[in-house]
Amino acid sequence: METTVNETTEVKKTSKNYHETMEESIGKMKLTFGNASLPQIFAVMVTVGYTAEKIAALRDELTQLEALYQNQIKEHADETEAQQHFSNRRAEVNTILVRHRNLARIRFKADSHARVSLQLDVDVPKAFNDWMQFALSFYAQFAAKPDLQIKAIEIGIDPMVITNQQQAIADVQSLKESLRTETSDAQIATDTRDAAFDVLYPKYTDYIKYAKVLLPNNQLLEAIGVTVKSK
């Protein structure tokens, strides 16, 4: 992320909504801590404890926060990709499932036992775990009941088709597990980033508050990112 020395900020007394302005906040801190070693600024701020060592420590914390920020972006992107793969694959499998059920409704319209076994008179569940069990049960019925299997072949639902669908359902389940892992990783990355921000940002605002009291002119304040209103 690039920042320029021309960036300015007006520090407000209200708390920072970093979920909306994380990148902006990092940019402002980068400008402030980057220019904290300028001779005219450093000579004044060292009187309230901002030694070279303390400034270096603040910069190190900011570097760590930047790394956590980038990692959170990566983890979120991984989660989004995993969600897309899962959703697309599930939709593909469900489309075939619905088509097979519609074919079965026609073939077994007069067979009440088959309709009950295949659950042809109920809607396909939407919740994932229920959907998965429903789909697996539908195809398992053909393997468990030879008479159903023979009739199913007449409508293109042969053993190979059934096996392929069962494998596809297993693939969807695997993608769901991967999504859960990516979601967990993304949440951990977000929590870690936010925790680091919550530690560093108050240190930044304290520095700005001291500077607004101690620095003698507008140019120096603007060098650390404070907007100075014209009188």
Give per-residue pLDDT as tens, 90-134: 999 999 999 999 999 999 999 999 999 999 999 999 999 999 999
Which residues, in sequence order, are CB contacts of 197 under 8 Å at separation 6+? Answer: 18, 22, 25, 65
* Residue 3 banded pLDDT, cuts 50, 70, 90: very low
What is the model's pTM?
Answer: 0.79
Integer Cα distance of 172 and 178 in angstroms: 10
pLDDT on residue 5? 31
Give per-residue pLDDT as tens, 198-231: 999 999 999 999 999 999 778 899 999 998 876 5
pLDDT on residue 143? 84
pLDDT on residue 9? 37
Among candidates 28, 44, 3, which has minimal Cα distance to 200? 28
pLDDT on residue 21? 81
Integer Cα distance of 143 and 163 in angstroms: 9
pLDDT, mean over the chain: 90
CATH of domain 18-223: 1.20.1260
Instruction: Give 226's strand partners.
Output: 9
Of the chain, the percentage scoring pLDDT greater than 70 comes to 90
SS3 16: coil
Half-sphere exposure of 3 (CA within 13 A, CB side): 21
Dihedral Cα 49, 51, 56, 59, nearest 10 deg: 40
Show me where the domains of the chain are located.
18-223
